[in-house]
Every structure is written in structure tokens, then in C-alpha cells.
Amino acid sequence: MTPRPIHLADLTLAHQRRPAVHHVSGRFAPGSLTAVVGPNGAGKSTLLRALAGLHRPDGGRIEGAAGQVALLPQAAALDRAFPIACLDVVLFGLWREVGAFRAVPSAGRDRARDALAAVGLTGFERRPVGSLSVGQFQRLLFARLLLQDAPVILLDEPFNALDSRTAADMLALVHRWHGEGRTVVAVLHDLEMVRREFPETLLLARDCLGWGPTAEVLTAANRLRARMMAEAWAADPADCGRQDAA
């Protein structure tokens, strides 16, 4: 597995012209394992969506992400009322390989069953997604990522609302991906987990307040700055302060 590096060059991402990510520059090294942390509304999900090609830059550039990224969105952002069976959700992971309108070969179905087994969902093939618990649904989304087999994996709050057993199982998958040389980027709020498990951290409060080894980034001073920045942005969300921002 040889991911390409991903560069952010003076990246600004906006919603309705209000910057959510503001003049951020830096690099996700190939094979790195990075936590993206910051207060609510700091631009973390917006950044992941942009890396996945779902949000176009309003300023600056993202280089190297196209075609090598798989995204696990926040579970809360997904509609589970859709009447679809678990195996079919996992098979979406083959979309790039197989295409939208071609039948999935039986080998693909076998891989999907293997992915379900790998996340502890053997026997769930025909279950409608609406009948799954929160933790089972998150396992299902991880199974889809397994099938996607992407060099770069983006996870938006992947352990939210999971019990400790499920969180540990999903964390083991993250480490497996890292061990295979993939680049993994995860939005997280649990700073203890970040310190324990994630060697690199990007601290975001719309602006980048630190990006590098976790112990150097997650200092009390930086976290205080992040909170203050978030409050300043909340008070005046449109004030970019630079000529060239969106």
C-alpha cells in the first residue's frame, strides 16, 4: 500500500462565504496516522469532506488526495431509514472497482461477506440497516471501508456512541490500516485516546493551531488558544481578516 502525500496549500473552505477552514497549509505524510481535533464548529468535518472531494476549496488547494481516499462520514449525517440490506451497503465499497450499473461478481460478494465477518457481523447479510444498533451500524460502515481498500482512510468521529468493546475492535482496524502503510486521518474528541493512539495531531479552530507530533501539539496553551479562537469566530464568523479569503 503506497499512498501519495496529501498537501494542503493555504486552504480555505467556506459555507455560504463564511470560512470553516481558514488558510491551512501542511502535509499528511504517506502512512501517517493523524488525529484532527478542535472545538465544535472548528471545521474538522468540512476538512474531511474536502479531502474526499465533497467540498470544493474556496481558496488555496488540496494536492494528492483525488482518487485515493475513502471517507467514513459522521454516523449522524447518514439516513438509516433507507430500505437496504447490510450486504448491499458493504458492496457500495466496490463502486469504484465495479461501476454503478454492472453486476457485482461473486468474488466481490465473497469479499463483502469476509468484510462483514472481519467486523463481527457474520449473519447480518440480509438484515435491513434500519434494524441495526448504533454500534452495529458503525461496524457495517467499517466493513464498507475494508472493501474500498483505499490508500487513504478518513474517519469522522468513528468511535462516537460506541461501547468500549466495539470501540476497541474498530480501533484495532485503524491500527491494522496504519500497519499496512495506509494514511489514516480521524476526527476525534477524546484527547486521551488521541494521546495514547495517534502519533500525529492537527489542531484546528478554523485556523491551524498546530500540526505535528501529538505531544507537541496538544499542549494546554494550544488548547486554550483553540478555545479562544473558536469563541472569536463564533462572535464574528464572517471576519476573515485577510484579503484573499472566501
Ligand X SMILES: Nc1ncnc2c1ncn2[C@@H]1O[C@H](COP(=O)(O)OP(=O)(O)OP(=O)(O)O)[C@@H](O)[C@H]1O
Which chain residues interact with ligand X by CB under 6 A? 15-16, 20, 38, 40-46
Cβ proximity to ligand X, 62 vs 87, nearer residue: 62
DSSP strand E in 101-213: where? 152-156, 183-187, 200-205, 207-213
Q: How near is the Cβ of 160 to ligand X at its closest, in Å?
A: 10
Cβ proximity to ligand X, 30 vs 41, nearer residue: 41
Please, are residues 14 and 20 in contact by the beta-carbon 8 Å criterion? yes
Q: How near is the Cβ of 141 to ligand X at its closest, in Å?
A: 17
Cβ proximity to ligand X, 14 vs 147, nearer residue: 14
Q: How near is the Cβ of 138 to ligand X at its closest, in Å?
A: 16
Cβ proximity to ligand X, 46 vs 148, nearer residue: 46
According to DSSP, residue 85 is labeled B
Q: How near is the Cβ of 86 to ligand X at its closest, in Å?
A: 26
Cβ proximity to ligand X, 115 vs 153, nearer residue: 153
Cβ proximity to ligand X, 38 vs 93, nearer residue: 38
Cβ proximity to ligand X, 13 vs 91, nearer residue: 13
Strands 207-213 and 200-205: antiparallel
Q: How near is the Cβ of 42 to ligand X at its closest, in Å?
A: 4
Please, are residues 90 and 112 in contact by the beta-carbon 8 Å criterion? yes
Q: How near is the Cβ of 70 to ligand X at its closest, in Å?
A: 18
Q: How near is the Cβ of 119 to ligand X at its closest, in Å?
A: 24
